[in-house]
Structure 1
């Protein structure tokens, strides 16, 4: 069974956030370490577009979180928590957050995006050109890097896909190079355009 089929079966062929049955696709919740069923949800275009483009968020659309925040599935709960934090300026979302429960592992996953922080508190990661990096972005190494604790050298031009961000240090990101998870300094990477 494919990931799409598993998510369709789990969700009853509807968006796991708002319940829409139109234009559904897989949304892998960043930062993606495992992906798969536990790290993904089935979402409609409207929900996925607004998750990916915070400036386009329509508060009324997300009143659906009143139901989806109680999902038994980690990916759905995490996205609900993140979106409720983005909408904190609207009183109703804070009321829902006050009722919501995530276990420690789910909370760490949810906080990885930084959506719960005020703009002044967020740790901003930027590549060598000053482009802001997001969890799940793809980057390319701009110079050869010796990997600490091993004889491996990550070569210039190597693509590192689906990075995760260090929540405390704006200079550190993590990603897999040659199957090995490594920490990379942001001064040595360039964000890849979507089509690369």
Structure 2
């Protein structure tokens, strides 16, 4: 079978739920896509698959594009048209995750957060100062306590307990 998300041929497909929408919404995708920790270039086929007629696949494509931190993914995300109901489902990432800031507010891909504490960034040799805005965050899928974002040009992992939603 072919993975509808990345168009990999003859890959075993895994039924993957697409939360935030209908309870039975799922897409059969390859293990590499389901892992979501793969290199962004694996998802280059989204340029064609994002136009699928399957709403669950459209939502998964939109969320994947939002998660990727590349120029080509941002360009595709801007081109993607979704009807109002499907767009609301795609934007309902908060229902799909349990990432919450220090005040308990739900966090979503693309949100802007502000650091509420000075953070020593290990391996980068600088301190991210309290009050620093982190734009267009990404959620770490397998850990609700972690988000990713760019601070001083470095992509870092930040604990959600040290941020508040802007």
Gaps of 5+ in 1: 1-12, 51-55, 123-130, 134-169, 171-196
Deviation of the 1:116 alpha carbon: 3.7
Structure 1 residue 119, shift from structure 2 partner: 5.3
Work out the CA distance in 2 between the residues paired with 1:102 and 1:83.
Answer: 14
Match of 1:46 among 7, 26, 32: 32
In structure 2, stretches of 5+ residues that fail to align are: 95-107, 114-134, 137-142, 146-164
For 1:71 and 1:82, the matched residues in 2 are separated by 14
Is the 2:65–2:73 contact (alpha carbons within 8 Å) kept by the matching residues of 1? Answer: yes
CA RMSD of aligned residues (A): 2.5
- Extract structure 1 runs of 4+ deviating beyond 3 A: none
**TM-score with structure 2 length normalisation?**
0.56
Which residue of structure 2 lines up, in the alignment, with residue 93 of structure 1? 73
User: Which secondary structure state, in structure 1, belongs to the residue aligned with residue 93 of structure 2?
Assistant: coil
Say if 2:67 and 2:109, in contact at 8 Å, map to a contact too: yes
TM-score normalized with structure 1 length: 0.48
Q: In 1, distance between residues paired with 2:91 and 2:38?
A: 19
Aligned residues: 105
- 1:31 partnered with 2:31: no
